Amino acid sequence: NAGVTQTPKFQVLKTGQSMTLQCAQDMNHNSMYWYRQDPGMGLRLIYYSASEGTTDKGEVPNGYNVSRLNKREFSLRLESAAPSQTSVYFCASSEQFFSPLHFGNGTRLTVT
């Protein structure tokens, strides 16, 4: 049982380049999330999707877009990468109502 799978694991971009981070879950969860983790900052929510067909902004959405492609997949796109987007990105999923988040293994992104 794979759980939450993120690709790629590592990525280096130049300022202004674009890329899409992929996330898929096989637990039939309704809700999916993208967080970024920066040293000393904990995890901050970028976007979330409460159910298939819906997406909403989290705490730090600027510079990002998302797509909930189907119930399994939730992608995060950086249209024009900036050094401030250097971070570790985690995708997560959950059943609604009181269940914990299940996290992927993360994507370590460096923007030079």
Minimum distance from residue 56 beta carbon to another protein (Å):
7
Q: Rounded CA gap, 6 and 25, in Å?
A: 9
Residues numbered 49 to 108 that lie near another protein (CB under 8 A) are 50-51, 56, 58-59, 90, 94, 96-106
3-state secondary structure of 85: helix
When asked if residue 41 is in the footprint of another protein (CB under 8 A), the reply is: yes
Asked if the peptide bond before residue 8 counts as cis, ω within 30 degrees of 0, the response is yes
Cβ atoms 6, 108 nearer than 8 A: no
**Chain positions contacting another protein, by CB under 8 A:** 30-31, 33, 35, 40-45, 48, 50-51, 56, 58-59, 90, 94, 96-106
